[in-house]
Structure 1
Amino acid sequence: MRIVCLDLEGVLIPEIWIAFSEASGIPELRRTTRDEPDYDKLMRFRLDLLRKRGLRLRDIQAVINTMEPLDGAWEFLRSLRERTQVIILSDTFEQFAKPLMAKLDYPTLFCNTLVVDPDGTVSDYRLRQKEGKMHAVMALKSINLEIFAAGDSFNDLAMIRQADGGCLFRAPTTIQNSCQDLACVQTYDELLAQIDSFLSAKAVGPANGGRIG
C-alpha cells in the first residue's frame, strides 16, 4: 500500500507565524523553518519575543481563526484523498491547527503541543519527538507502507529523503539550490502528477527528485 505524507504550512495553509507577524506588526516573527533549520532555536526566539511583548495564546488563535487554506488546497486534498490515504506531518501545534483542520475536512494530523500557563502565556513547547516527521515516515515504512512525502522547508528534508518517493513544493530558492537532487513543483496539479507517478509505479526506490521507479 502506498500513502502520502504532506507538510501543512506552506503546502496546504499559509504560514501561521507570518500571518501573526503581519497582524501584530512584529516583523521578527516572519522567520520560519524556511529560514532557520534549527527548530529549537527558532521556537525559543519566538517564545521569548511573545513573552517580551505580553502576547498570549489567544492573540495568536484570534489571527488563526481568520485564516483560510491556500487557494486550491481544499480541492487538491479532496482529489488526493480519493486516490490514497493522506497523513499531515507538521511541526505546528494542536492549539494552532484545529480551526484550520476543520476548513480542510479534518485530515489526519500528527503535530506538537504548546505548554500554556493558566494566564494564557505560551511558556514552552513539547515535540512529539525529535525529527518527528522523519520518524513517522520510518514507522509507516516499518509496517510495509510505501511513502511519498512533500514539503517546503528545511524541517521537511529528512522525511522526504526517508520516504520512498517525494518532492519539494514551492520551496524557497535557498532550499532548492541546496537540494538539487529533489524535484520542486509549484502547483497542485504538478504535485498531483508527481504523486500519481509514484502511486502507479511498478517498483519504488528512494526519493530521487520525483523520479520514482
Structure 2
Amino acid sequence: MYMLCCDLEGVLVPEVWINVARWTGIDELKLTTRDIVDYNALMKRRLEILKQHGLTINDIQKVISLLELMPGALDFINWLHGRVQMVVVSDTFREFADPLLEKIGWPVLFCHHLTIDKDGNITDFNLRQTEAKKKVVEALQNLNFKVIAIGDSYNDITMLRQAEHGILYRPPQNVIDDNQDIKVVASYSQLKHLVSEILETNSL
C-alpha cells in the first residue's frame, strides 16, 4: 500500500517568500531552498530582514491570503483521490499554511511553527525536528507503507531519496544537476502518468 508525500510550496502553491519579496520590494527575500541548501541559515537571514524592515506576521499573512494555487494543482489533488492518499510535508510554518490548506481541502500537514511576540513580530522559528521530511517518510515506512514523494528543492532531497519513489517536480536546473539520479517531471500531466505507472506496476 502506498502513501504520497507532497511538498507544498513550489509544487502545489507558489513560493511564499518570493511573493513576499515582490510585495515588499526586498529582493533578498527571493532566496529559497532552491538556491540555498542550509535551511537554518536561510531562515535566520529571513528573520533578520523582517526585523530590519519592521515586517510582522500580519504583513506576511496578507501576502499569503492573495496567493492562488498553481494552475492544475487542484485537479491533480482531486485526481489523487481514490488512487493514493496524500499528506503534505513542508518546511513552511503553521502560521503561514492555513490559508493555503483551505484551498486544497485541508489535507494532513507536517510542518514547523513560529514564535511570535504580542506585537506580531516573528522572533524565532521552531523546527518540528531535524530532517523532518525524511522522518515522515521513515515513519510511514515503519507502518508498512511504501512512499511516493514529490518535491522541487534541495530541502526535499533526503525525503525523495528515502522514499521508494522520489520525484522532482519542475525543479531549477541546479537541483537537477546535483541530483541526476532522481526522476524529473515538468507538468502535472507527466506527474499523473508517473504516479499511475508506479501504482499500476506495484499492484500487479
Measured against the shorter chain, the TM-score band is over 0.9
SS at 2:82 equivalent: helix
Q: What is aligned with 1:197?
A: 197
Q: What is aligned with 1:125?
A: 125
Letter in 1 for 2:185: V
Q: What is aligned with 1:67?
A: 67
Q: Which runs of 4+ in 1 moved over 2 A?
A: none
Letter in 1 for 2:179: C
Q: What is aligned with 1:53?
A: 53
Q: What is aligned with 1:80?
A: 80
Residue 165 of structure 2 corresponds to residue 165 of structure 1: yes
Residue 107 of structure 2 corresponds to residue 104 of structure 1: no
Q: What is aligned with 1:36?
A: 36
Shift of the alpha carbon at 1:107? 1.4
Mapped partners of 2:182, 2:192: distance in 1: 16
SS at 1:128 equivalent: coil
1:113-169 Cα offsets, whole Å, 9 max, x none, are 011011100000111111100000001000100000010000000000000112100
Mapped partners of 1:166, 1:196: distance in 2: 14
TM-score normalised by length of structure 2? 0.98
Mapped partners of 1:192, 1:158: distance in 2: 22
Residue 139 of structure 2 corresponds to residue 143 of structure 1: no
Aligned residues: 204
Q: What is aligned with 1:207?
A: none
Shift of the alpha carbon at 1:82? 2.7
Mapped partners of 1:175, 1:152: distance in 2: 8
Mapped partners of 2:85, 2:192: distance in 1: 14
Moved more, 85-94 or 99-108: 99-108
SS at 1:83 equivalent: coil
1:28-52 Cα offsets, whole Å, 9 max, x none, are 0000000000000000000000001
Mapped partners of 1:114, 1:200: distance in 2: 40
Mapped partners of 1:190, 1:102: distance in 2: 26
Letter in 1 for 2:89: L
1:85-114 Cα offsets, whole Å, 9 max, x none, are 001100000000101111111111111001
Letter in 2 for 1:158: T
Q: What is aligned with 2:178?
A: 178
Shift of the alpha carbon at 1:171? 0.4
Shift of the alpha carbon at 1:202? 3.2
Change (3 A) 1:103 1:202: closer
SS at 1:82 equivalent: coil
Letter in 1 for 2:187: T
Q: What is aligned with 1:154?
A: 154
Q: What is aligned with 2:14?
A: 14
Letter in 1 for 2:186: Q
TM-score normalised by length of structure 1? 0.94
